[in-house]
Structure 1
């Protein structure tokens, strides 16, 4: 019941607010109703216990709670029959306002909602009534417990088929589309196109910048193309702040520091800019169809990692203004929040760069101390920097990126994702699974011994 109440979120704030404000990490859950999985799991467990009790009991008497349990469903049945317009007005008052100002569309949407509500209400009463009839029959010894169990399982399977059909083949009048994607659509979605093929031929480390309506397109990831745009429901706040304060990173200094090498412009628009070169025109396949697209190369793009000459201190509230200033050149200077003693005359060299999902490794050579900028999101809680195997402090550079000080000489610099918490959770899950299997095994052995003892 507690999980059910929590799932209502702000609609039952009495319980939800207590957990949100007082319980550690509870505010990290994005969707409150996902906790309903606990309700579904526990209901299935309790149902199994109830079914096991009925199957093992030879003489089943009608419990005292049976008839009172029927009363709320009977009252709901009466209200559904005789409620009429009053019931419709009451239920419709809780419908969320449609996202349209057209009165005709609002009326149509609310009528569709009411139709779905009434159909689901009658479906619920059908299954509940069928279950109560089966319970009465088994309590009155009209049917055996095995027949009862078979009928209940049949009802459950029928209910699943009804729900699955609504998801897979929804009625057109419901306004819902199928949640399944056809194989043909998937094949078309992952079939390369001239633009993707051109970009995939470039084996260097770079990112693309999809401009305009292409910015939210996530299809590029399917081909291993790293995009500054795309869509994900959960973003790191520091990156979301960057997009909000820099016009979706659409200014040249920001594009350079983000390792953007190619700009994708929809409708093959012509752009005249001294730092851009048109390198490809063609058709780009999107989830909503194909679009003529132009690919421009940013001539002065920056690599994934580089050394800088000058470090400047900026306040957090001014950082976005600093990095969007046209005079800002991320190749030569960088902004940090806390001052450090740094001065360099001759820049070092990055002799190798290797990256994977959980590790980035660089080899550097220099004749004096350097400051390295890595064009990856600053996330010091999990991405730990090492120089020759020794952990070093990672600084937040230009409001978003990572930076570390490198001593003179030849060094190996590594950024390694810390999976300690994941491994700890995995270990706990494995131990809990083993304990659960052990308890089940012990329970089965004890049950077998009891049955042998009773038979003797």
Structure 2
């Protein structure tokens, strides 16, 4: 044991250093503070009902009625207690509270990657910092995209494991891949994992090329086969989430549309292209890889007291303090994205070393990094250069399931530092063998440093500081101030500020590149040693990336945790009034915000709206067809929307309206009308009385005995027991009748029973559940019992046991061989 500590003392010291870094960056966490994260707030609101029942029952329900009329909870939160990865992540979160844990995984995962690449320890630490502190890793945390952040954190060790397998380390490489891929999948952000697979697919192609070239096809196939085993095992460990998600996804906005598109005459599959491409990286905006504020930073970037805009306001007689407040309302960001939380910045010195690496690094890794970086960057352009994106969107499996294509740059954010560190490693180990190394270093400096200096000196020559909405901005300001001349002068001042921001950061980047260049120059001229170079570059890169990250995630981002929760979810007077109604299952629509992109109403109510990236397609189609510019009162009735919350034009006064026409939890209709397709069904519910008539697709005709149905007379049905995934009704009817329930139809788990005997569930009114019920006095129950969940849990448990046993076996063999 003593020898082990001695042999690994450097690694242990580096790990401790990483922990210290994380503690310092997130010091507010230890003061009882937490981040204000918009996505986390939305998640907390949507999860409120399921956690209330979890506290009551000891387990979370599998269905919630708190959003969109109902949806599976395993798309909002799931315990995944049969998945061994759950317990690994829980331990990390217990020792290092979020978001400290995710940044520590960033660092340790990247350090593992560089260690696998046989880079000396302190250079590996530098590389880990370069990968971990890339700007968007922290921007995602600030925004509350925590699952995305965890998925990014596990990318580096997954890549390392694949490299290990192809290097012939069969046992540890396979186990390592199974473990890290299982964790990657466990954090449940399949978009990031999908992008990682694209990058790894290119790597496998590069490996195949070299295997054929070097006549090593057998070794390649063996390594690929072992990775396939690791992949299957990782998928099995995560079966509890994957099976339910796969089943659900086919019925969501990421699946196939139910209504034929008017223009194409086809049912679209996947997301709408304009929606998927809405957040596309600008082609010119990629300069932010090198100069963070080249495009103005974040949309809500703040202009200081010395800004030209503030000076302009002051010159017009506006007091200094008010001028600063007014300036902060103007957009410094001038790219084409609807808005942005910040730039994709990889570090000026890191990017310089990446360019240098293209000239001095040899071998398959360089060609993989270069080809993948080019492909990924082209894909990130989306609508701004759609030649490559459209090919993938139209033909590459599952690519059209994901939106915000700029986020694929997370792969480049790993690859750029990877090649940068390999460049330094190459200089340290082989500088004598690199032809004209000093010229290559100088040329890279002139190219990258020269570009930064030119933008610093002549920003207007290279950047326009205007986007396609520039004239619209002037028109809007002219309308606000009532004077177009003043509006033009104000925007001119804003353009000067945008240029100043770009120029200042360009000078900053040039200074960092210059220091990096000089350290490497002195090294190849034998003026300083390798350890000095690594030490200084580590400090420079850390200060560079840390300071940019602090622009977007800093101490001001943290507030008192308890106060934040109370403030965000403060019960309003309208909420209190609604909650006085003790009925079991009415719904609420809150129009004080966009009800279909805000989940906060779900915290206190069963909301008709909500927020989720994968709504059921049928519900989204209802929104698009029945709530496009106006409320369809008939649809609100059939969903039992009893309360409507509105506000005045200023948003200061809110009021609640009780809707007496809401149909209730369940009702018998007088007649059933069959329609031939989804379009007819959607059109039918545009204007109808849901209490009297139900529209049913012809595909359900065989499940209805129309001859036995009679007009209900003195019939009554009521909800007598409510649980999100188990609802009980009692009814009385002198004859067979057709009952409609104000619950979303989802045939992947819901089952209906009359006095304990299962009966078929029929879809009515495009999206609701319905039953043909026999006459008499009976009990009806709905139970949500998805088989995909049961089977998934079983597979997760089996594969988790296999993974743990495999890990124990490999560790045993390692220890035994060491002794």
TM-score (norm 2): 0.43
User: Which segment drifts farther, 346-355 or 304-313?
Assistant: 346-355
Cα distance, 1:63–1:379 mapped onto 2, change above 3 Å: farther
Matched, 1:337 2:711: no
Cα distance, 1:404–1:28 mapped onto 2, change above 3 Å: farther
Deviation at 1:31, TM superposition (A): 0.9
> CA separation in 1, counterparts of 2:436 and 2:745?
60
> CA separation in 1, counterparts of 2:623 and 2:545?
43
Equivalent pair of 1:387/1:412 in contact (CA under 8 Å): yes
Equivalent pair of 1:214/1:266 in contact (CA under 8 Å): no
Larger RCO: 1 or 2 (CA < 8 Å, sep 6+): 2
SS in 2 for 1:30: coil
Q: 1:339-378, aligned counterparts within 5 Å?
A: 339=701, 340-342=704-706, 343-346=709-712, 347=715, 349-350=717-718, 352-356=720-724, 359-364=725-730, 369-378=736-745
Cα distance, 1:31–1:344 mapped onto 2, change above 3 Å: same
Equivalent pair of 1:196/1:223 in contact (CA under 8 Å): no
Q: Any idea what the Cα deviations from partners look like across 1:265-320, whole Å, max 9, x if unmatched?
A: 3239xxxxxxxxxxxxxxxxxxxx96222222222423334443421123533444
Matched, 1:97 2:476: no
Deviation at 1:390, TM superposition (A): 8.3
Q: What is residue 63 of structure 1 aligned with on the other side? A: 434
Match of 2:568 among 178, 189, 192: 189
Compute the RMSD of aligned alpha carbons. Answer: 4.6
> CA separation in 1, counterparts of 2:736 and 2:420?
68
Matched, 1:151 2:536: yes
Deviation at 1:27, TM superposition (A): 0.3
Q: What is residue 274 of structure 1 aligned with on the other side? A: none
Matched, 1:165 2:527: no
Equivalent pair of 2:716/2:732 in contact (CA under 8 Å): yes
Larger radius of gyration: 1
Matched, 1:198 2:577: yes
Q: What is residue 88 of structure 1 aligned with on the other side? A: 460
Q: Any idea what the Cα deviations from partners look like across 1:379-405, whole Å, max 9, x if unmatched?
A: 44x454344788875543222323344
Q: What is residue 634 of structure 2 aligned with on the other side? A: 253
Q: Which runs of 5+ in 1 are unaligned?
A: 171-177, 269-288
Deviation at 1:59, TM superposition (A): 8.0
Equivalent pair of 2:586/2:606 in contact (CA under 8 Å): yes
Q: What is residue 317 of structure 1 aligned with on the other side? A: 679
Deviation at 1:162, TM superposition (A): 1.5
Cα distance, 1:83–1:190 mapped onto 2, change above 3 Å: closer
Cα distance, 1:78–1:313 mapped onto 2, change above 3 Å: same
> CA separation in 2, counterparts of 1:94 and 1:296?
45
Equivalent pair of 2:728/2:781 in contact (CA under 8 Å): yes
Deviation at 1:42, TM superposition (A): 4.2
Q: What is residue 510 of structure 2 aligned with on the other side? A: 125
> CA separation in 1, counterparts of 2:441 and 2:803?
39
> CA separation in 2, counterparts of 1:20 and 1:160?
33
Equivalent pair of 2:588/2:641 in contact (CA under 8 Å): yes
Deviation at 1:116, TM superposition (A): 3.4
> CA separation in 2, counterparts of 1:142 and 1:228?
70
Matched, 1:415 2:784: yes
Deviation at 1:20, TM superposition (A): 1.3
SS in 2 for 1:4: helix
Deviation at 1:95, TM superposition (A): 4.1
Equivalent pair of 2:730/2:779 in contact (CA under 8 Å): yes
Equivalent pair of 1:210/1:264 in contact (CA under 8 Å): yes
Deviation at 1:236, TM superposition (A): 3.7
Q: Any idea what the Cα deviations from partners look like across 1:79-121, whole Å, max 9, x if unmatched?
A: 5545799862443288443342436265455444433333343
Comparing both structures, which one devotes a greater share of its residues to strand? 1
Q: What is residue 398 of structure 1 aligned with on the other side? A: 765
Q: Which runs of 5+ in 2 are unaligned?
A: 1-372, 476-486
Deviation at 1:335, TM superposition (A): 0.8
Equivalent pair of 1:365/1:410 in contact (CA under 8 Å): yes
Equivalent pair of 1:62/1:139 in contact (CA under 8 Å): no
Deviation at 1:363, TM superposition (A): 4.6
Deviation at 1:350, TM superposition (A): 4.6
> CA separation in 1, counterparts of 2:543 and 2:737?
69
